[in-house]
């Protein structure tokens, strides 16, 4: 059974703090790693799709890195803002089919003004 683990489960930071979360996955079945930002009652919003070992991607204050050999990805948020409060999900595409993603439980981020 393939498992995707995310840590921490939840995180409370002050506005302006920088933070990061971890996504761990089995390195033997890797095709792509997806990061999503998800606010309750809204659509999960795609942040990054990463496919190559060593990939680094950036979108505004959010960036992500990927290590497929050791099976982890980090998501970084620089200078957190209250609007960054959301659950951040990572999902592994293990190659069965491109849409068959194995999701982690997410890291719930709360940013206090």
44 lies in the site for another protein, by CB under 8 A: yes
Per CB under 8 A, contacts with another protein among 70-99 are 89, 91, 93, 95-99
Among residues 96, 100, 102, 84, the alpha carbon closest in space to that of 45 is found at: 84
Q: Which of 2, 12, 15, 46 binds another protein (CB under 8 A)?
A: 46
CB 89 within 8 A of CB 44: yes
Compute the least distance from the CB of residue 59 to another protein, in Å: 12
Which span sits near another protein by CB under 8 A: 12-20, 21-29, 30-38, 73-81?
30-38
Residue 27's φ and ψ, nearest 5 degrees, are: -75, -15
CB 20 within 8 A of CB 72: no
Q: Which of 42, 60, 70, 83 binds another protein (CB under 8 A)?
A: 42
**59 vs 112, beta carbon nearer another protein:** 59
Please, where are the H alpha helices in the chain?
none
Q: Which residues bind another protein (CB under 8 A)?
A: 31-32, 34, 36, 41-44, 46, 49-51, 89, 91, 93, 95-101, 103-106
């Amino acid at each position: 059974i393939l498992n995707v683990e995310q840590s921490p489960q939840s995180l409370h930071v002050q506005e302006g703090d920088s933070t990061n979360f971890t996504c761990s996955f089995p390195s033997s079945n890797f095709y792509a790693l997806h990061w999503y930002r998800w606010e309750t009652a809204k659509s999960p919003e795609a942040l990054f799709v990463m496919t190559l070992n060593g990939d680094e991607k950036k979108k505004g204050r959010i960036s992500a890195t990927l290590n497929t050999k050791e099976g982890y990805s980090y998501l970084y948020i620089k200078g957190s803002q209250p609007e960054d409060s959301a659950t951040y999900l990572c999902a592994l595409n293990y190659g069965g089919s491109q849409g068959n993603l194995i999701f982690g439980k997410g890291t719930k981020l709360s940013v206090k003004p």
